[in-house]
Amino acid sequence: MAEGSSGAKGRPLPPGTRIGILGGGQLGRMLALAAARLGLKVHIYSDESGPAFDVATEATKGAYDDGASLDAFARSVDVVTYEFENVPVATAERLARSCPVRPGPAALRVAQDRLVEKTTIDGLGIPVAPFHAIGGLADLERAMADEPAGAILKTRRLGYDGKGQIALTPGADLAAALAEIGQAPAILERRLSFAFEVSVLIVRGLDGAVAIYDVPRNEHGGGILRRSTVPAGLPGAVLARAHDMAGRIAAALDYVGLLAVELFYMGPEAPEPLLVNEIAPRVHNSGHWTIEACGVSQFENHIRAVAGWPLGSPARHSDAEMVNLIGRDVDDWPALAATPGVCLHLYGKREARAGRKMGHWTRLAPIRSGLR
């Protein structure tokens, strides 16, 4: 069952009602801007102030385990959603007692633990990268023996943007690797040689209707997304398969809102052309181009879904390229602002720490018909 998504399915929340968002980062900021467009108000709740605070009707700085503060937040809003997948499940469950939480806590539970995530997806008959559960050194030694081409040790919980991951080759010091991740429960994932990475941005409404944006191709550097481009150049049959996989995952989670499914494209000759890498139960960096290239962005469609509105069309009118501004990249803003065709987004973060997402830009181009 999916708590929170089974509330009053009948009527969309009318303009003027208030959406609660857990998390105050740039995704919360872009969600708040999209909600504003629809006449909906936003109340941000976060344990630290951030870029979303500047554009919200109301913002609360509070701990995710501060029951009284959470209860007051829940009373002030008509529905709660979140902008990051590491919201404590207990927080979501507490809020769900007073008002709908969408996506429901079940999606958080699956997405927060790589082992549960992979087991769940595998259980749907959807291929994932081969993996082993790692409880300690004995598991890791046994698992590495199966991975002569090398593998990646990933903590089961709290990893993002390449954090909590260690690449291992045969002969590596496995005890040291486990020490580096603090002996945390982990998985070992086979290192794959894929053609490129893509993501499916699927949004599912309260009534189960789905809309799928065109699939972007994603390039990473240092574990962080650098660039997304649409179209990805996937063969049509592979694209259809990607859509089908994402649809099955969203339905299995009785998901409400935008879900990102990251996939490895193994190339046209591979027996399994697509493997799921991971899912993110939220709006996703690889969908930022939808702000300019679509009439209804991923942010607006997430808000529509959680507010029980009909979904907007995910059709795009342009090809698009999105590039992240990471750390000191943002210092280029005057040149980017002066470059014709660059649509610049800055998140208003004060400090440009290394690896921090400070903004992005999108460039549109006419659709190259026939390319897909």
Compute the distance between CA of residue 24 and CA of residue 51 in angstroms, rounded to an integer. 6
3-class DSSP state of 68? helix
CB of 33 to a second copy, least distance (A): 5
AA letter at 259: L
Whichever of 171 and 341 has its CB closer to a second copy, that residue is: 341
CA distances from residue 252 to 117, 126, 237, 322 in whole angstroms, order as listed: 12, 12, 23, 30
Compute the distance between CA of residue 362 and CA of residue 345 in angstroms, rounded to an integer. 8
Residues 6+ apart with CB under 8 A from 184: 155, 156, 157, 164
CB 267 within 8 A of CB 274: no
CB of 35 to a second copy, least distance (A): 9
Whichever of 193 and 369 has its CB closer to a second copy, that residue is: 369
Q: Which two tokens stand for residue 209?
A: 């209707």
Q: Which two tokens stand for residue 184?
A: 């945390």
The 8-class DSSP code of residue 13 comes to P
CB of 348 to a second copy, least distance (A): 4
What are 279's strand-pairing partners? 261
Whichever of 17 and 86 has its CB closer to a second copy, that residue is: 17
CB of 211 to a second copy, least distance (A): 10
Q: Which residue ranges make up the site for a second copy (CB under 8 A)?
A: 12, 14-16, 29, 32-33, 36-41, 54-57, 292, 295-296, 304, 309-310, 312-313, 315, 317-318, 330, 333-334, 337-338, 340-348, 350, 359, 362, 364, 366
Whichever of 8 and 158 has its CB closer to a second copy, that residue is: 8
* Burial class of residue 343 (count of CB atoms within 10 Å of its CB; 0-12, 13-18, 19+): middle
CB of 336 to a second copy, least distance (A): 10
Whichever of 125 and 341 has its CB closer to a second copy, that residue is: 341
CB of 300 to a second copy, least distance (A): 9
CB of 57 to a second copy, least distance (A): 4
Whichever of 14 and 267 has its CB closer to a second copy, that residue is: 14
What are 80's strand-pairing partners? 20, 101
Whichever of 55 and 215 has its CB closer to a second copy, that residue is: 55
